[in-house]
């Protein structure tokens, strides 16, 4: 699960730190059990949020998003997921850091949620999209920052090889800082990781029915 296409050929900083989208190889059952190394690269500003969220998962206090999205399939996959506790901890930790840490406050949590919904829908993951849609309010219409983020998310999700410096400049032009752009890149890559993780687990679950 650690392999990924170079999602954002965005700014050099973004490419160096963003969790990147998994490759098709991640759909295989074997790949699903590998720890998502890329996903542990949470935003620097949210590192404390990641650590506290991971600890909360270890203590059983935080609901696991992947189990929630898997729904009725989750119990049958619990033993498999428990065999790779680092995957569970880091996946949930990055999720918390991206949506509840300082980085989310800077970009705007509702904007990040809207981008996550869009990415999940484009990736054909309606359950994951529904999860994100239920997290927050819909950002106000006419928000130029949100519009730029959604355009970038769609472009990265559907034609990542076409991304150029001009795409990064478009984000900066609406007022996003370099750190904000890194956060957006990480959010996009992380949702693609979740999509592949859920798809692989569902494939394994179907094979055990």
pLDDT in tens, the chain (209 residues): 444 444 443 333 333 333 433 333 333 333 333 333 333 333 344 444 445 444 544 444 345 889 888 888 888 888 888 888 888 899 999 999 999 999 899 999 999 999 999 999 999 999 999 999 999 777 778 999 999 999 999 999 999 999 999 999 999 999 999 999 999 999 999 999 999 999 998 888 765 55
Tell me if 56 sits within 8 A of 119, measured CB to CB: no
C-alpha distances (whole Å) from 46 to each of 49, 63, 173, 178 are 5, 19, 24, 15
Nearest to 153 by CA among 127, 136, 129: 129
Model pTM score:
0.70
- Which one-letter DSSP state was computed for residue 162? G
What whole-number distance in Å separates Cα of residue 109 and Cα of residue 189? 16
Q: Is 10 left (phi over 0), alpha (psi -120 to 50) or beta?
A: beta
Residue 138's pLDDT is 78
| The pair of three-digit structure tokens given for residue 141, joined into one six-digit string | 């219409």
């Amino acid at each position: 699960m650690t392999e990924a296409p170079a999602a954002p050929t965005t700014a050099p900083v973004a490419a160096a730190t963003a969790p990147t989208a998994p490759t098709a190889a991640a759909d295989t059952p074997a790949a699903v059990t590998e720890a998502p190394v890329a996903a542990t690269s949470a935003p620097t500003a949210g590192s404390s949020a990641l650590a506290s969220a991971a600890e909360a998962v270890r203590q059983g206090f935080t609901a696991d998003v992947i189990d929630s999205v898997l729904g009725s399939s989750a119990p049958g996959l619990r033993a498999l997921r428990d065999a790779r506790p680092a995957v569970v901890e880091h996946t949930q930790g990055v999720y918390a850091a991206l949506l509840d840490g300082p980085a989310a406050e800077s970009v705007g949590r509702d904007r990040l949620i809207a981008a996550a919904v869009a990415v999940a829908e484009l990736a054909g993951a309606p359950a994951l999209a529904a999860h994100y849609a239920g997290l927050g309010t819909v950002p106000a219409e006419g928000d130029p920052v949100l519009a730029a983020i959604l355009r970038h998310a769609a472009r990265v999700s559907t034609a990542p090889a076409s991304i150029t410096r001009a795409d990064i400049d478009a984000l900066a032009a609406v007022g996003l800082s370099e750190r904000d752009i890194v956060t957006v890149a990480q959010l996009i890559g992380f949702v693609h990781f979740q999509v592949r993780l859920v798809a692989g687990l569902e494939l394994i679950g179907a094979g055990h029915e």
